Amino acid sequence: MNKQEIILANQQYLFPSVFHYYKEPLVVARAKDQYVWDIDGNQYLDFFGGIVTISVGHCNETVNRKVHEQMDKLQHVSTVFANEPQAALAKRIAGITPGGKLTKSFFTNSGTEANETAFVTARCYTGNHEIVALRHSYHGRSAVAMAATGNSSWRLGGAAPSGFVHAINANCYRCPFGLTYPSCNVRCARDLDEMIRTSTAGRIAGFIAEPIQGVGGFITPPKEYFEIIHGIVKKYGGVFISDEVQTGWGRTGGKWFGIEQWGVEPDIITSAKSLGNGAPVGLTVARPEIADAMKGLTISTFGGNPVTATQAKAVIDYIDEHKLSINAAETGAYLRAKLEEMKAKHPIIGDVRGMGLLQGVELVEDRETKAPAAAATNALLEASRENGLMIGKGGTWGNVIRISPPMNISKSDVDDFALRFETSLKRVTQTQMAGVR
């Protein structure tokens, strides 16, 4: 198929909800390491990594060699048969979870399924039903995961399943209480106590949160937030679920999991994306006593698939051997400094936030009113594309640029990014000013 045929077939044969970035969809033909090529042969520097998924570079040779070997040996058995890749992956993960305390895994195909599994596990373990999630969160696209999601744009289909309530998230740039950190005394976290007492049955099955809200626009809480939340969750009998679909595997820098940045030991971790570097794998890993509470029959046809399990373990080994979480911290700090420099020069940048190689740039029309600059964000995506750069978008108002390159990039890639990004930013602001004149 040529480009036009692909675009046309997309329109004719896919649900319209399968939306694409850009006015004209970017038809991707191939990718290698930090680069992507479109069907016309144009090269792009990929600073979004699929959607925060390419952890060790596109088509990583070391990983792919192991996958090809496995593909020729054993491709499928399902969870009802034991196989080495699944067992080896579970053992590897048990060795790196916070405090070494989450030792039992259940594998599925996506982040959505990983969260579904966590909710069922929490309910089986506690005997309670209600789950507290956060406003502005994203937890997946199934009926139940949409009910957990705290953003109306991503909750399709009307009535959502019961059993979810949404607590206040921490967003110091747009404080829900209009307060200022630290004099606020982290009221957003403390509010959870009254929220559980007034909006639930008083005992909860669990609490789920992303250590940094991804789709929400890389919203990064103050350091005390999750510690306070954790205490309240325990007080009301819940398990603490850390949704590490975007923050896992070293991306936040120096730690395997984002929640470790906040000094909290979760009861369950869910993940996907960067764990597979593109392979469809979902992980729910729990403390053994919690995992053991999920008794009875359940099955995942493709869960623990030998090929994807091989890929996931190869990715973890690669991250470990190449110290990529250290690189995420160091190169991430270098990237952050570049973004802060740009913020000092360009008033359209209202906020820069994130950790490691997970950095967000919030665009505003006016720094005083903080009116979200959604149109400029779209224009910046388009301009970046023209300058050979792929970046992501997020935020409840669609005004946050999401930057999440592969974790094995170098500082020279950041220099390349910064040049392309700032050139694009200047183009957008100049066009805006021309419009005003």
Ligand X SMILES: Cc1ncc(COP(=O)(O)O)c(C=O)c1O
Q: Which residues bind ligand X (CB under 6 A)?
A: 51, 110-112, 115, 138-141, 210, 214-215, 243, 245-246, 272
Look at strands 206-209 and 131-134 and give their pairing. Answer: parallel
Tell me the C-alpha distance between 131 and 219, whole Å.
21
Q: Smaller CB distance to ligand X: residue 214 or 253?
A: 214
Report in angstroms how near the CB of residue 284 gets to ligand X at its nearest. Answer: 12
CA triple 46-52-55, angle to 5 deg: 80
CB of 293 to ligand X, least distance (A): 23
Taking the complex as a whole, the smallest distance from the CB of residue 114 to ligand X amounts, in Å, to 7
Of 60 and 246, CB closest to ligand X: 246
Q: How far is residue 393's CA from residue 362's CA, in Å, rounded to a whole number? A: 10
**CB 15, min distance to ligand X, A:** 15
Nearer to ligand X, 130 or 210 (CB): 210
Q: How far is the CB of 387 from ligand X (least distance, A)?
A: 26
Query: Could you tell me the strand order of the sheet in which 358-363 lies?
Result: 349-355, 358-363, 400-403, 392-394
| Nearest distance in Å: CB 213, ligand X | 8
Least separation in angstroms between CB 152 and ligand X: 16
Q: Which residues contact 11 (CB under 8 A, 6 or more apart)?
A: none
Cβ atoms of 68 and 228 closer than 8 Å: no
Measured from the CB atom, the residue of 14 and 201 that comes closer to ligand X is 14
* Shorter beta-carbon distance to ligand X: residue 211 or 238: 211
CB under 8 A, 24+ apart: contacts of 179-185: 181/222, 182/222
Of residues 272 and 294, the one with the C-beta less far from ligand X: 272
Residue number, 141 or 174, with CB nearest to ligand X: 141
- d(C-alpha 363, C-alpha 393), whole Å: 11
Of 50 and 406, CB closest to ligand X: 50
Q: What is the largest CA-CA distance in the chain?
A: 69
Least distance in Å: CB of 193 to ligand X?
25
Rounded Cα gap, residues 57 and 61, in angstroms = 9
Which of 56, 413, 112, 101 lies closest to 250 in space, CA to CA?
A: 56
State the residue number with the nearest CB to ligand X. 111
Q: Compute φ and ψ for 270, nearest 5 degrees.
A: -115, 150
Nearest CB to ligand X, comparing residues 97 and 117:
117
What is the Cα–Cα distance from 368 to 100, expressed in whole angstroms?
Answer: 46
The residue behind tokens 């009113």 is: 369
The distance of closest approach from Cβ of residue 215 to ligand X in the complex, given in angstroms and rounded to an integer, is: 5
Residue 176 backbone phi and psi in degrees, to 5 = -60, -25
